[in-house]
Amino acid sequence: MKPAEKDIALKISSISASFDGFYALTDVSVEVERNTSRFFIGPNGAGKTTLLDIICAKTKPSAGTVAFFPKSGPMARLTGMKERQIASMGIGRKFQVPSVFASLTVFDNMLLSLKGHKGIWDSIFRPLSAHDEEKIEAGLERADLSDKKGSSAGSLAHGQKQRLEIAMLLVQEPELILLDEPTAGMGKRETEETGEMLAQIKKSCTVIAVEHDMDFIKQAADMVTVLHEGKVLVEGSVLEVLADKAVQAVYLGRGGDY
Ligand SMILES: Nc1ncnc2c1ncn2[C@@H]1O[C@H](COP(=O)(O)OP(=O)(O)OP(=O)(O)O)[C@@H](O)[C@H]1O
Ligand SMILES: [Mg+2]
């Protein structure tokens, strides 16, 4: 019997990226299954952020394609699209540094994100529908921020800001989210909570994350791709990847910070 075909949400094919002749990525191909989490790991400078930049069209690759397969509708070739077009297809990106509106409340940050391109005037002058309010409340609940909704976002702890930013992405109901080091600067408990949040998110969304924290990777990654000097070194489950001799050599060679 033929094995069931995997339901692929994103197909990265032979991507290379060069900056003035320096190859940050060389011939990277990865398929990401729908409603799973794919973690890209690897030493500093391996090309992880560059790959996220290419998926969301912040950076143009020198070769290769990225194809997105929405739950409904035809395949979309992301390479060649504009950043805005990609966002409107339901692909959300969280950058390494949290960017929330510090002087606005947590609730208003969510509201602005929900209104998205309709912008600030719409959110101020149009009454909030019960449906939108429910969506915001549900998002805050999932991020464990319900009791903070009236606080200014600037007063949140670093980890809470990171979770608020993820919640702001989710309220737009994306199909795919890209997270660059979502647990950077978080303590152990906050990191675990973020892992629990990801497990919930995956039910309705495909997750691509870049991460250094090995405990978080073990907790939250379904599949791992190790990048090293711009190339795919190995991919597999967390355990498979950690057992790999080449991966161990790369990490131990860097002072064993993993
Ligand atoms: N715009 C750019 N111009 C020139 N070089 C760049 C540019 N962006 C990235 N690079 C280089 O490409 C390589 C990969 O960088 P990238 O930021 O993708 O690494 P990373 O795996 O995300 O590393 P880290 O774990 O430190 O965040 C690095 O050597 C970096 O200096
Ligand atoms: Mg990076």
Please determine, looking at this structure, whether the domain spanning 8-101+175-252 carries the CATH number 3.40.640.10.
Answer: no
Q: How confident is the model at residue 59 (pLDDT cuts 50, 70, 90)?
A: very high
Structure confidence at residue 58 as a pLDDT band (50, 70, 90): very high
Ligand 1 atom with least separation from CA of 43: 25
pLDDT at 258: 46
Residue 255: pLDDT band by 50, 70, 90 thresholds?
very low
Positive or negative: CA dihedral 70, 72, 77, 80: negative
Domain ranges in the chain?
Answer: 8-101+175-252
Query: Is a pLDDT exceeding 80 seen at residue 35?
Result: yes
pLDDT at 93 > cutoff 90: no
Could you tell me what percentage of the chain is helix, strand and coil, using 3-state DSSP and rounding each to the nearest 5?
40, 25, 35
How far, in Å, CA of 85 to CA of 81, rounded?
A: 6
pLDDT tens for each residue of 208-227:
999 999 999 999 999 999 99
Beta strand pairing status for 76-77 and 63-68?
A: antiparallel
Q: Which residue puts its alpha carbon closest to atom 11 of ligand 1?
A: 24
Among 210, 255, 214, 208, residue whose Cα is nearest residue 12: 208
Whether 175 shows a pLDDT value over 70: the answer reads yes
| Separation of alpha carbons 12 and 78, rounded Å | 10
Ligand 1 pocket, CB under 6 A: 19, 24, 42, 44-50
- Say what percent of the chain tops pLDDT 70: 91
Report which secondary-structure segment, H or E, holds 26.
strand 22-33
